[in-house]
Each structure stands twice: as C-alpha cells, then as structure tokens.
Amino acid sequence: MIIVTGGAGFIGSAFVAKLNSEGINDILIVDKLRSGDKWKNLVGKKYIDFVDKDNFLIKKAKKLLSLTPKLNAKIKESHTFVGGGTMPNKKIPTIIVEINANAKKTEEIMRENLVIGRIENEKFVLDMRSIQNDEIEKLAQIINSVLSCEG
C-alpha cells in the first residue's frame, strides 16, 4: 500500500493520478478536506480509502494497542518539535502511546530492541508520527516479546 499525505491537494492528487496511470490503486489518501473544493481533486481517482489527517495517527495508535493487549498504555494528544535551519523547534501536534511503566527502564529495554521513543511527563512514549504503518506489526511483536520475558 502507498500512503499519499496531502493526497486531495493539487500536487497530491496529481501524484495519485500518476500512480493510477501505472496501474497502482492500492493507495491510502490522508488529508484534511475542510470546507473547500479539495474533494473535487479526488473525483475519478482510484484509491482504497481516504482518512482525515486528524484520525490517521489515532488509527495507528489503536492498531498498535490492539496488537499488544497486555501493554498497559493509553493514547494521548501531545506535541513534538521538528525543524532546523530557519525553522528550528517548530511545535506540531501529534498522538502518542503513553506506556504506564518505569520510564527509564522501559526506554532502556526498548532501545536494546531498536525501538526509539522518548520520556515525556515521566512516562515512556511512542510518537505515532515517527512510526510508519508497515512498522506497527513488528513493533507490536517486539513489545509482546518484551512483555512475555517480564511476565
């Protein structure tokens, strides 16, 4: 599956049309339509689903939690910082999975397993912006493996 963020905009929809012309229809479009005519850019395009950008990160977090039933965690709104050069430390909204366990120990165990998160408000968190859709199942396997070793 190909995920096209901003897929309802002028450039994104042109990219979807190009993919369609090459026989690629396994596309997930992520965008925010608001109250404009952007939806018209999607007319005639072939894609599997459209997800509002505000729901996209939440869906990833819910999938992760559904695959890790023994994980004591919750989904929360948060912020992350991106940028550099002329736009250092731009604050943007994100969705996190906050793990209810000893933050430092959890971070250490996760890093040993090549999982990168951060400590926020004394909790270890996974930022859904930094986790790709095709990484969710592998991440869940790692978490489940770590939990089974602790149990």
The pLDDT of residue 33 is: 83
Question: Residue 127: which pLDDT band, with cuts at 50, 70 and 90?
Answer: very high
| Extents of the domains making up the chain | 2-47, 54-150
Instruction: Judge whether residue 151 has pLDDT over 70.
Output: no
The CA distances from residue 95 to 61, 79, 99, 120, 142, in Å, are 8, 8, 13, 13, 20
Q: What is the value of pTM for the model shown?
A: 0.74
| Highest mean predicted confidence (pLDDT) among 55-59, 80-84, 97-101, 144-148 | 97-101
Instruction: Judge whether residue 78 has pLDDT over 90.
Output: yes
Share of the chain above pLDDT 70, in %: 97
Question: Residue 74: which pLDDT band, with cuts at 50, 70 and 90?
Answer: very high
Minimal CA–CA distance to 55: which of 79, 31, 34, 36?
A: 31
The pLDDT of residue 60 is: 92
Share of the chain above pLDDT 90, in %: 70
Between CA 54 and CA 76, with CA 8 as vertex, the angle to 5 degrees is: 10
- Domain 54-150, second-level architecture: Alpha-Beta Complex (3.90)
The pLDDT of residue 35 is: 66
